[in-house]
Amino acid sequence: MGAEEFLPHSRSLSDLRQAAESCRGCDLYRDAHQTVFGEGSQHASILLVGEQPGDQEDRRGEPFVGPAGRILDQALRDADIDRTQTYVTNAVKHFKFVERGKRRIHKKPGRTEVVACRPWLLAEIEAVDPRVVVLLGATAAQSLLGPQFRITKSRGEPLHLEDGRSAVATTHPSAILRAGDDDREAAFAELVADLRVVAELLDEPRRVHG
């Protein structure tokens, strides 16, 4: 069905957040505890997009508050980006999972669910009007750049969204958590390097979007 019909006429973040709580644009709301909308500075220069909320985010109703969020926080610090001046959200606003005993294990959202939730992400971008959008992982990147986009080919490169806005795609912080001990340090360093590209883009003249 898609989220379009659930969007309010207003594009203020507070109105969008309230309306998203009642979204029934796909079936993920049935099993999740709650909608996890974006949070952060409403005038942020940088808007970061992940895949979907995880178990802790679903329980707390806040994005990037679990282990991946802590990795992101450290990477932003190392790239000299002030986390409090960013806005963080996800391509999909409900936690998709499979149950294994008492645990809820992350399950990658399908393309249908990503497309259904895309109106919320576009509305957030419109409301915040960031200078740069950071796409964390394949799901986030493909939600705005199309299903053919590959992180492995274009990570860390300055890109542009359909509206002309600057964007950078990189790996999701959760990938660092899944990396082996020998690879984790290098994977983190690559994430920081990509975020430094984001910081450099803020120094460029602002483009006109539309």
Give residue 205's pLDDT. Answer: 66
Give residue 210's pLDDT. Answer: 55
Q: Which two tokens stand for residue 37?
A: 């909308």
Residues ≥6 apart with Cβ < 8 Å to 114: 91, 92, 139, 142, 143
Q: Which two tokens stand for residue 16?
A: 């969008």
pLDDT truncated to tens, each residue of the chain (210 aa)? 799 999 999 989 999 999 999 999 999 999 999 999 999 999 999 999 999 999 999 999 999 999 999 999 999 999 999 999 999 999 999 999 999 998 999 999 999 999 999 999 999 999 999 999 999 999 999 999 999 999 999 999 999 999 999 999 999 999 999 998 889 999 999 999 999 999 999 987 666 555
Give residue 181's pLDDT. Answer: 85
Which amino acid does the sequence have at 87? Y
Give residue 203's pLDDT. Answer: 80
Domains of the chain: residue spans and CATH: 4-201 (3.40.470.10)
- Burial (CB < 10 A; 0-12, 13-18, 19+), residue 55, is middle
CA 192/CA 79 separation, integer angstroms: 6
Residues ≥6 apart with Cβ < 8 Å to 140: 49, 50, 51, 90, 91, 169, 172
- Burial (CB < 10 A; 0-12, 13-18, 19+), residue 71, is buried
Q: Are 25 and 6 in contact (CB under 8 A)?
A: yes
Which pTM does this prediction carry? 0.94
